[in-house]
Amino acid sequence: MNFEFFIAKRIIDSKAYKSSVSAPIIKIGIAAIAIGIIVMMIAVATGIGLQQKIRDKVSAFNGHIIISNFDSNNSQESGRPISTQQDFYPTFTSVEGIKNVQAVASKFGIIRTETDFEAIIVKGVGADYNWDYFEEFLIEGRLPDYTKERNQDVLVSQDLAKRMQFDLGDSFTTFFRKEDPNALPTPIRYHIVGIYNSGLKEFDETYVIGDIRHIQRLNKWEANQVGSFEVLLEDYNQLNEKFKEVFQNTSSLLNTYTVEQKHASIFEWISIFDKNTYGIIGIMILVAGINMITALLVLILERTKMIGIFKALGSSNWSIRKMFLYNASYIILIGLFWGNLIGISLLLAQKYGKLFPLDPSVYHVSEVPVYINIGYIVALNIGTFILCLLMLLIPSYIITKISPVKAIRFE
């Protein structure tokens, strides 16, 4: 058995150790480690969770990669149409990792009721549309079915429904302008079959999801003409890599860009969470390390006589330092155990119980989202353990300055 580990274990197991002067300091050190790992886990879990949630919501309205015509018009309304007769549609066979390619088109409209009116964007989708995101957002009713004949079924947001006092099953008229400014707008009677709530206010307050064939008819397009294509990836983390491949495999006459480029302000905002998370991790490790340094110094002072005896018996300075480092490792591991137990419990409670709400107008989500992954939990534990132990090497150097004669006589 390792001699230093054996001595450290005997010190930890002794009753005198548990009732010594250093006992309260050790408990504070354990609490500091536990609180530190709890705060770090919450910071990482909520930071990544918030980023992923907002990212997925923005992607639900735009796709991950957008392919459209070059157009100087920055409007969200579809401009010049694109033919669906493309090599990448309906399946992008030349690039791996593509989940779906869906043809869409959008057009501005005005909802007019007896008492009110509202400007909206009707996003037209077809039979190829992937409803996975909106299925998650759906709070009432059902998703529209555009695989059969053209119909007036639409999906509206809860925000729009409240403002216009719509209920599930209601119908409303939307007016669309024509190219001729002197011509009367074209009305379409829509029927609400579902109500969604994504939490992204800037999208929820304007977007209505309808049949793309209405947009084609209004714009006098052919059946094979659409506004743009949305490319969904299997793994969002490969966005930049897949964007380059998609760009290389599309015509030079088409414009290709990512959802992050289209909504740069939103993604720049959520990227700030990374800096905040790194800052919190750094502060917590520093605080935990300082507490552990204090605990180790108290342990050394408390065991000064023992250090003198071991030195008199021929033990090296490094051997004695290892005894105390083993002792400190035990304290760190106890703190990590309780920190993980409490931290993971809190994250699970938030994930499934949704205990802490957020203002969706500010954070784009209605509750604090958490991302739980064994990878970052293990990394935080290993990183905290190693960094705290490295910080303890410096104060343990004080052992080399202790004189055996003075230490044995120390009171």
pLDDT, greater one: 380 or 327: 380
Q: Is the pLDDT confidence value at 113 over 90?
A: no
What are 202's two structure tokens?
A: 């800037």
Type of residue numbered 234: E
pLDDT tier for residue 263 given thresholds of 50, 70 and 90: confident
Q: Is the pLDDT confidence value at 283 over 70?
A: yes
**Degrees (nearest 5) of the Cα angle 353, 354, 358?**
170
Contact 178, 186 (CB under 8 A): yes
Contact 16, 321 (CB under 8 A): no
Three-class SS of residue 143?
A: coil
The pLDDT value given to residue 64? 94
Sign of torsion, CA 387 390 395 399? Answer: positive
The pLDDT value given to residue 379? 92
Q: What is the pLDDT of residues 87-109, one digit of tens each?
A: 889 888 888 999 999 999 999 99
Give the CA diameter of the chain: 106
Find, among 114, 155, 151, the residue nearest to 133 by Cα.
155
SS3 content of the chain, % helix, strand, coil (to 5): 55, 20, 30
Of 32-41, 205-214, 284-293, least confident by mean pLDDT is 284-293
* Pairwise CA distance, residues 309 & 300, whole Å: 13
Contact 174, 184 (CB under 8 A): no
Helix (H) or strand (E) holding 256: strand 254-258
pLDDT, greater one: 160 or 79: 160
Residues 6 or more apart whose CB falls under 8 angstroms from that of 233 comprise: 64, 65, 97, 98, 99, 239, 242
What are 36's two structure tokens?
A: 């530190």
Give how far Cα 276 sits from Cα of 40, 50, 112, 202, Å: 11, 13, 45, 25
The pLDDT value given to residue 258? 93
| pLDDT, averaged across the chain | 85
Per the listing, tokens 């300082």 go with: 290
The pLDDT value given to residue 406? 62
Domain ranges in the chain are 3-56+267-408, 71-252
CA atoms within 13 A on the CB side of 95: 28
Per-residue three-class SS string for 130-180: CCHHHHHHEEEECCCCCCCCCCCEEEEEHHHHHHHCCCCCCEEEEEECCCC
Q: Is the pLDDT confidence value at 17 over 60?
A: no
Type of residue numbered 362: V
What is the number of other CB atoms lying within 10 angstroms of the CB of residue 276?
11
